[in-house]
Chain A
Amino acid sequence: MKVLVPVKRVIDYNVKARVKADGSGVDLDNVKMAMNPFDEIAVEEAVRLKEAGSVSEVVAVSCGVAACQETLRAALALGADRAVLVNTDVELQPLAVAKLLKALCDRELPSLVICGKQAIDDDSNQTGQMLAALLDCGQATFASKVKLEGGSAMVTREVDGGLETLSLELPAVITTDLRLNEPRYATLPNIMKAKKKPIDTLTPAELGVDVAPRLKTLKVVEPPTRQAGEIVPDIATLVSRLKNQAKVI
């Protein structure tokens, strides 16, 4: 059984995004990039399923510029078996990525796709759900536990107020939440091994997908900043400020 794991190259989790002075976007020049953290969790989950014997092959996919190969190498170092880069310089929006992944699923026929629930750059939280719709298959978003049994997946999801468990017939799409697992660190031998694993390159045209952006970004600005307030000396002063100045209690 094959699992497909899409991975996105994004700004590193620890880097604070800076808006470009001309308002055209966020400055990514000379900024540290890394695999989207939720996608790392997705790779880890797929690799664990393989280690548990329920999955035979883990294929990592990335869509975007040539530098996404680094992200794919990272996925291979975590334990993916091979990788596919869908190479384009066009700005990819979630619907376009979902269509590329759909076209790839038609070729690869995976039983399961495990995606990160959201990318920490555009914070859209769309691609997995869109892919499930295009594949006309079941979905379990925000997964905190995944169990494969025969032809189905039992997935516990994080919902507002608690947990929900779904049984999905495969093929299906799962999106990962933070607490599904804690991704391993790639070891040096695995990083070396990853260099020898194959990465195929395709283009959107070869997959027959129109990736032209649907949304136009008119401007990007810094949000209004909050001013630091007052450090009060004690609790009595705090309570008095909240009552008499802020009037919130």
Chain B
Amino acid sequence: MSILVIAEHDNRTLKGATLNTITAAAAIGADIHVLVAGSGCSAVAEAVSSINGVIRVLLADAPHLDALLAEDLAKLVTQLAGGYSHVLAPATAFGKNFLPRVAALLDVAQISDVVAVESANTFVRPIYAGNALATVSSDDPVKVLSVRATAFEGAVGGGGSAPITPITAPAGFARTRCVSRELATSERPELAGAKVIVSGGRGLGSKENYDAVLEPLADALGAALGASRAAVDAGFAPNDYQVGQTGKIVAPQLYVAVGISGAIQHLAGMKDSKVIVAINKDPEAPIFQVADYGVVGDLFTLVPELVSNLK
């Protein structure tokens, strides 16, 4: 029984969520292959080859896979899938985009956001914004799973030296074209995998305040920045900062919620954090019901005080 994991990367470096997905694969079985598809991505394949537990790396390196469109990746994975009992990808924007296409082409169900592996055909996944956990089983010949990275430790690199097998990708899908990409470059850690997150909500009042209040705190803690839906809707922070049911799911060691009331949809995205700190002026805010430590008061005085205390 072999398992195929699809690596997420940007043609240069491997994204961390792949490592968590490999750990989920290891909970199912031992024979783990990883597909690295892209353009000029051999460095990624090298990196994957050394990850403990990976026994083979498949490298599909072709110019038309540069943008890695769902149409192209799904066709490639579907061709390979016949030889595998399970196909896994991280439940990130990348995995969510292409994986259901694979499942449909294989005529099998997909199990989204797997948080636990009970057996080779039984898995646990959150539903209703994480207000319920469903245990589901599948009798389909190939199990297609997207994996919630925060529910599994990251596989460790360094020990392995899996062989890298080049494979040929099918011709590109001519009717979709990637026109442009605007990716923000940040010195801060990636939100999804960050150890510490400082997250801001409506209470900050403006983009200027969001930046002025939260950036020094994020700097002091070496944290990634996040935001509630209200803050993103109001334009305080970019869209991809949103933590919650329909945004990013995070589980850092420390999550500092500043001026966030704690709607269930937000809690769904961060309640598995190890330690939650809430700073809010409203003592009745639901965020305090999940926070390990709460401070009630004006965030505009408390956060700068916290920054100076951390120095």
Residue among B93, B233, B289, B305 having the largest count of chain A Cβ atoms under 10 Å: B93
B180 close to A165 (CB less than 8 A): yes
- The residues of A that contact B196 with a CB separation of less than 8 Å are 248-249
Contact of B127 among A95, A218, A220 (CB under 8 A): A220
Write the residues of chain B forming the contact surface with A, with a CB cutoff of 8 angstroms: 67, 69-71, 74, 92-94, 96-105, 107-113, 122, 126-140, 173, 175-184, 190, 192, 196, 221, 229, 232-233, 238-240, 242, 245-246, 248, 253-254, 264, 271, 274-277, 283, 288-296, 302, 305-306, 309-310
A162 close to B137 (CB less than 8 A): no
Beyond known contacts A138-B176, A246-B274: 14 more, CB 8 A cutoff: A17-B129, A18-B131, A26-B127, A93-B109, A123-B112, A162-B238, A164-B182, A216-B137, A217-B136, A221-B133, A222-B131, A223-B130, A229-B292, A235-B302
A-B pairs with beta carbons under 8 Å apart, 19 shown: A93-B109, A117-B246, A123-B113, A125-B96, A129-B70, A129-B97, A133-B100, A133-B104, A141-B96, A154-B179, A158-B240, A168-B175, A178-B242, A179-B239, A218-B122, A222-B131, A226-B290, A231-B294, A249-B221
A126 close to B122 (CB less than 8 A): no
**Chain A contacts with B in 139-193, Cβ cutoff 8 A:** 139-142, 144, 154, 158-169, 172, 177-179
Give A11 to B127 CA distance when docked, in angstroms.
12
Beyond A139-B70, A142-B93, A159-B93, whether A228 also contacts B289 by CB under 8 A is yes
Write the residues of chain A forming the contact surface with B, with a CB cutoff of 8 angstroms: 11, 16-19, 26, 38, 93-95, 98, 117-118, 120-134, 137-142, 144, 154, 158-169, 172, 177-179, 214-223, 226, 228-232, 234-236, 238-239, 241-242, 246, 248-249
- The residues of B that contact A126 with a CB separation of less than 8 Å are 100, 103, 110, 112
- The residues of A that contact B131 with a CB separation of less than 8 Å are 16-19, 26, 222-223
Beyond A26-B127, A98-B104, A125-B100, whether A220 also contacts B132 by CB under 8 A is yes
Give A235 to B293 CA distance when docked, in angstroms.
10
Smallest CB gap from B302: residue in A? A235
Closest 8 CB pairs of A and B: A138-B176, A17-B128, A129-B100, A130-B104, A229-B292, A169-B175, A214-B109, A126-B100
Beyond A215-B138, A220-B133, A235-B305, whether A130 also contacts B127 by CB under 8 A is no
Smallest CB gap from B288: residue in A? A228
A137 close to B175 (CB less than 8 A): yes
A121 close to B183 (CB less than 8 A): no
A141 to chain B, nearest CB (A): 5
A162 close to B93 (CB less than 8 A): no
Contact of A133 among B105, B233, B248, B264 (CB under 8 A): B105
Smallest CB gap from A246: residue in B? B275
A138 close to B132 (CB less than 8 A): no
Give A98 to B107 CA distance when docked, in angstroms.
11
- The residues of A that contact B242 with a CB separation of less than 8 Å are 178
- The residues of A that contact B101 with a CB separation of less than 8 Å are 129-130, 132-133, 139
A123 close to B109 (CB less than 8 A): no
- The residues of B that contact A249 with a CB separation of less than 8 Å are 196, 221, 254, 310
Give A138 to B172 CA distance when docked, in angstroms.
12
Contact of A130 among B103, B134, B192 (CB under 8 A): B103
